[in-house]
Every structure is written in C-alpha cells, then in structure tokens.
Amino acid sequence: MTETILANAMLVLPEGVRPGHLLLRDGLIAEIGAGRAVPKGALDCEGDLLAPGLIELHTDNLERHIEPRPKVAWPHADAIIAHDAELCSVGITTVFDALRVGSIGTSGRSDYREYARALADEILQMRARDGFRISHYLHLRAEICSETLLDELAKFGPEDRVGIVSLMDHTPGARQFRDLSKLRDYVRKKHGLSEAEFLAHVEQEKALRARHGAAHEAGAVAAARRLGAALASHDDTTAEHVAVSRAHGVRFAEFPTTFEAAQACRAHGIAVMMGAPNLIRGGSHSGNVAAQALAEADLLDILSSDYVPGALLSAALLLGDIWGDVARGLSTVTAAPAQAVGLGDRGRIVPGLRADLIRAHRVERTAALRGVWVRGRRVG
C-alpha cells in the first residue's frame, strides 16, 4: 500500500474551492481533509490550487510531433513520447489522440493518405509497454469528404480504446469554411497550393461529399455505436446541423461556429466545446463565434486545447474569472469532458476516484504548473 498526503492546498472540489489536504492511497483519492495544517511527511502545497488532472478531448498535437516541419517525417515512437511528455508538462493527464480516418488516394497529396490504423497500433503498443506518463485514448476524426472512410473505420474494434468518433465535414463553402477566402488562406498556406490547385481541391471535396457523404455519415455514426465511443459533431453552423446531430446521438459539439448553433445545442442537451486558443486570443482565427461570447451567454461547457496544449489550464482559469467561479471554470477541462465521454472514474476530487491531480498557481493571467500526479504517482 502506497500513500501520499498533499497538504495546505486550495482544493478545487465539485462544490467550490476551499483549503484542505488529500490522502492518496494506491492510485486513488482516499480522503479529503479541511484546513491548512501540514501533517508530518506530507507535501506542503503552499496554498496552491490542487485540481483534478486536465482531460483533453480534441488535440492535433501528435500530428505536429510526427511532422515537425512540412514534409519532414519524424520517427513515430519518438514523436509519441514527446507528445505525451508535452501534455504532461501542461497538466493534461488524460488525452484522446485525434487521428484522421478517411483518405483520398487520387489526390497525389502524401499528407492525405491512410495512417490511422498503423499509428493507433504504435500508441497502443507504447501504452502496453508502460511508456506513457499520462492516460491515452483514441479519437477517430471521420472525414466525410474522403474515399476510404468506411474501410478505415472497419479496421478498428472495441479493444482499441476508441473513446470518440467525430463527424468531420469539410465541404468547401460550408461549416467552418463557409467563407471560401478563409479556406483559401488556410489550405494554400498549409499545403503550398497554387490558385489552380486550390480550385481543383475545392471541386474534388465537393464531388466527394456528393458521392459519399450520406453513406459516410451513416457509417461513422454506426461505427461509434459499434466501438462504444462518444459521438461528436464538428463545426455545426445552423440549427439544422444541430438537429441532425441530435438525431445521430451526438453527445458534444466540437467548435460550433455560430451563436445560433450553440443555442440549438443547449436546447437539445448537446454539450458545447470551444477552443482554449479562441478564448485566450479573444476570437476565432477562422472568423467564427468567439468562445468568450458563448461563455458570457452561458453556452460553453467544455474547453479543448486544440492546437496549443499549454492554453488549456490558463483558459479554464480565465473562464473562472469571467464567471466569478474558479471551480466552474476548471470543470470545463475536468468534470465536463469526463462526463461527455463517460469516464466516471476521474475529473473530480472525490474519494474513490483516480488520483489524477495537478498543482498550480497563477502568474498574472497565466497558469504555472508545480506538480502533476497520475494514479497517485508524481509524473511532473
């Protein structure tokens, strides 16, 4: 039996923040105590916040490590370990690694070929070898505008720790890229396309949506059920999009692009997830609805770091400032994402739950991490 006491902390509990200590035993939270006393042998947290470990549902961070520069392929084992270490360093103790499923073999673009099954195997093998500091699940991003989605989904089974399947419809002129000028800026810069190549890309995507869209959408919904995964929508823009999401059984909406869509999600009981970078930057880089506007209208439930892992904790504390409730702000990166994907064993400081914890304090508007524990073991 192993025990650790974390004392003289400001505990972020479901009901609010108060001074106290935690007794961790065999990887679980065994006891919650009140007050600022520091028992013999305890770690003095010096009044810092002690909160549940952060839970990240949608991050493209692994892709950045695998391809650190355009057309530079990095060894996958090294990339996966670096990704794990980076997330641990910013307080994320559970991650759903986003992998694209659905490829386009006729495009000639090497970055749009199939990769998810092979990379998932490497992640799962690394986990089996106890190579991770934090907990990893899979998030399959189902590309509706593709040629091979159904075949790729069929390669995954319930044993693969697939926690999320998201419906990704990137049809030009719709959803995130209703404004084609925004899509032009993004695609041409990322892939180095000429104007003629960009226009060909637009036509190809539209043709794929027309040819495969209905079957791919239905197949992805069925795959989520078969895998026991939470279903997510992506970039809902209209009330009609949200109505379709509800009919599919979507549990949370990733980055709705309009106030209208967020309101419809709330009416249908679908949790709204927004990007932490959107909140910290003061707006969307794609010109969509601002996360702060949704927060002020009580239409924001979950935060994701999206493309900046270090943004997650600082953004949650910023939400606490907006709402005047630190515990509520932090719940958007702990309890709320855990609930959205059915992880009942973490995300709250409650006796009997996993001792996944972070210790942090604030330096002006930024969160400074001072400790990370996963199953009661200090990993950062």
Give the CATH number, domain containing residue 132: 3.20.20.140
Work out how many domains the chain is built from and give that number.
2
Are 138 and 162 in contact, with CB atoms under 8 Å apart?
A: yes
Full domain range(s) for residue 351: 1-52+347-380
Task: Output phi, psi for 3, to 5 deg.
Answer: -130, 145
Question: Are 35 and 107 part of one and the same domain?
Answer: no
The alpha carbon dihedral of 177, 65, 347, 122 has a sign of positive
pLDDT of residue 113: 86
Question: Are 338 and 351 part of one and the same domain?
Answer: no
Percent of the chain whose pLDDT exceeds 70: 90
Question: Are 206 and 249 part of one and the same domain?
Answer: yes
Question: Are 281 and 362 part of one and the same domain?
Answer: no
Cα 210–Cα 216–Cα 218 angle in degrees, nearest 5? 115
- The contacts found for 283-286 with CB under 8 angstroms, 24 or more apart, are 284/257, 286/176, 286/177, 286/182, 286/186, 286/257
pLDDT of residue 82: 97
Cα 295–Cα 242–Cα 271 angle in degrees, nearest 5? 40
Pick from 42, 39, 47, 41: nearest CA to 9: 47
Are 294 and 264 in contact, with CB atoms under 8 Å apart?
A: no
| Count of CB atoms situated within 10 Å of the CB of 205 | 25
Question: Are 138 and 158 part of one and the same domain?
Answer: yes
Q: What is the mean pLDDT of residues 132-136?
A: 98
Question: Are 272 and 370 part of one and the same domain?
Answer: no
pLDDT of residue 232: 98
Question: Are 302 and 378 part of one and the same domain?
Answer: no
pLDDT band at 50 (very low <50, low <70, confident <90, very high): very high
138 by DSSP, 3-state: which?
strand
Question: Are 235 and 300 part of one and the same domain?
Answer: yes
64 by DSSP, 3-state: which?
helix
Question: Are 290 and 238 part of one and the same domain?
Answer: yes
The mean pLDDT value of the chain amounts to 91
Are 46 and 8 in contact, with CB atoms under 8 Å apart?
A: yes
* Calpha distance 227→116 (Å, rounded): 15
CATH code of the domain in which 380 resides? 2.30.40.10
Which tens digits make up the pLDDT trace of 245-286?
999 999 999 999 999 999 999 999 999 999 999 999 998 877
Pick from 289, 186, 297, 302: nearest CA to 236: 289
Which tens digits make up the pLDDT trace of 56-84?
999 989 999 998 887 888 999 999 999 99
* Calpha distance 362→68 (Å, rounded): 30
Helices (H), 129-233: 149-153, 180-191, 195-227
Q: How far is CA 5 from CA 21, 23, 26, 124, in A?
A: 7, 5, 12, 32
Question: Are 351 and 339 part of one and the same domain?
Answer: no
pTM of the predicted protein model: 0.91
What contacts 203, CB < 8 A, 6 or more positions away?
Answer: none
* Calpha distance 249→148 (Å, rounded): 23
Percent of the chain whose pLDDT exceeds 90: 78
Question: Are 210 and 294 part of one and the same domain?
Answer: yes
Which tens digits make up the pLDDT trace of 288-338?
899 999 999 999 999 999 999 999 999 999 999 999 999 999 999 999 999
Question: Are 193 and 216 part of one and the same domain?
Answer: yes
Are 1 and 26 in contact, with CB atoms under 8 Å apart?
A: yes
Are 377 and 4 in contact, with CB atoms under 8 Å apart?
A: no
